[in-house]
Structure 1
Amino acid sequence: MKPLLILLTVFSISLFTIKMFRGNFNVIISARIAMAAMLMFTAVGHFIFTKGMSMMLPDYIPFKTGIIYLTGILEILAAIGILIPEIRITTGWLLIVFFIVILPSNIYAAINHIDYQKATFKGDGISYLWFRIPLQIFFIIWVYLSAIKF
């Protein structure tokens, strides 16, 4: 829920800031800025909640902590890349793949009631997926429309 709130808040602020300084609304640029801010926000979580996020990966996956740090770094790079015109389309496609690849870890975490912030098995459970899966689809569409199509 927090990433969605960040995305929509930064989008609104950016939209009106651009309108104030340039005289027109630029939905696409505002959408990219908002996605970049959201990615930076979620990337920080990889470094603050490393233990809990590591729990989101099944036991058979090695180097869990390294994977969590790597995905945090990838989110930071994607946040930068989506704002650079020369690489935004490639970054957009890679972000879409990233969002698809991380979905199983969210499903695994929901099935196992993982609360990544507290690193416990007292999370929301399967009901969380009713929000998370549509949210992931929303992020994919957001990236496609703001970074690839336009």
Structure 2
Amino acid sequence: MKYTTLVIDDSSIQRLATTVLVKNHPDLKLIGSYQNPYCGIKAVYDEKVDIVFLDVLMEHVDAFELLDNIEINAAIIMNSTWSDFAAKAFEYGIDDFLMKPMPKKRFNIAVDKIIKQIEQRKVVPPKVYLLSEVLSTFKEATIKK
């Protein structure tokens, strides 16, 4: 299965570098690459993307301002040239943080981790009830009547 992926980065060089990494990963399918974060976020909603590579500092907005105002139902891998943002990214619940330039090995580790997380969310184990739990619930309901 290919996981739909989108890149949002205002730096054309970094956007191209990330796009090449995405295109060369066997489990990823690039849906789009956006300089404008607002167009990128619109595409996240329109395309129902699985993974978003999101730059922290962009020309008119930073990633944290975006995340304060919208909800992205996709895994987010945030990236920046500044390591100081990593702690804040994880406080925001970001799935992974990559330093620019992204080494291919670290990129692949992050993607593989995210894919495992996505797969685990898809397979939710059914709730198993013990007979004693069922009987006690039934007994409590009968007594209250």
Normalised TM-score (structure 1): 0.27
Q: Which has the higher strand share?
A: 2
Whose Rg is larger? 2
Q: Which has the higher helix share?
A: 1
Normalised TM-score (structure 2): 0.28
